[in-house]
Amino acid sequence: MSGFTGSFMLGAGLNLRLASQNDQELIFQLFMESRPWLAWADASSDFIRDLYEQQFRAMRAGVESVYPDHLDFIIENCGTAAGRIIVDLGYADWRISEIQVLKKARGIGIGSNVIEGLQAAAARGNMPLTLSTPIFGSTSFPLYQRLGFQVIGEQMPMLHLAWFPPGHPAALLSNPAPQYG
């Protein structure tokens, strides 16, 4: 029997591998790219950098406290780092707490393919996938709708979404999707 090697092949050249200490610069770059509004402050570049670093530490502490058993993966496309996803494999659901794709790798289906790979794995265990996305300023909501996620709650400033595998009892509930985005 072979052991876990720390990576999952998703097909189409995509791979998820466990993040390592060597990935910290990439992870920080992804954090900055996914939060451009932090750079809008009318301040020096040193102040902006300090602001990003402070917010990055706060985000990491939050993930560690809310999802202590999370898995932090680097998304690779044909062997090149293209993004990151943090997943908590819970007993009631699998929670996607962060998914980020590098700007230079966006628009070619990497995020969709990673989520579809997680959906296929979750379906085998009859596990829902959950995530939250900002109500305003995010372009991700239409993507999540296209991938079958439903709004299960709203708590300003976030929408809480879930995808249910076919046959899951919650999948049978009709939940008309509000229009956001």
Domain boundaries, the chain: 7-127
Instruction: Give the pTM.
Output: 0.85
Percentage of the chain beyond pLDDT 70 is 91
Question: What's the CATH number for 7-127?
Answer: 3.40.630.30
pLDDT given for residue 180 in this prediction: 53
Tell me the pLDDT tens digit for each residue of 150-173. Answer: 999 999 989 999 999 998 888 766
pLDDT given for residue 172 in this prediction: 61
Q: Give the pairing of strands 71-77 and 150-155.
A: unpaired
For residue 124 the two structure tokens come to 């085998």
pLDDT given for residue 147 in this prediction: 96
Mean pLDDT along residues 84-91: 92
Does a cis peptide bond (omega within 30 degrees of 0) precede residue 157? Answer: yes
Helix ranges restricted to H, 34-158: 45-66, 110-124, 141-146
For residue 33 the two structure tokens come to 């790219």
Left (φ > 0), alpha (ψ -120 to 50) or beta: where does 13 sit? Answer: left
Tell me the pLDDT tens digit for each residue of 35-65. Answer: 888 889 899 999 999 999 999 999 889 888 8
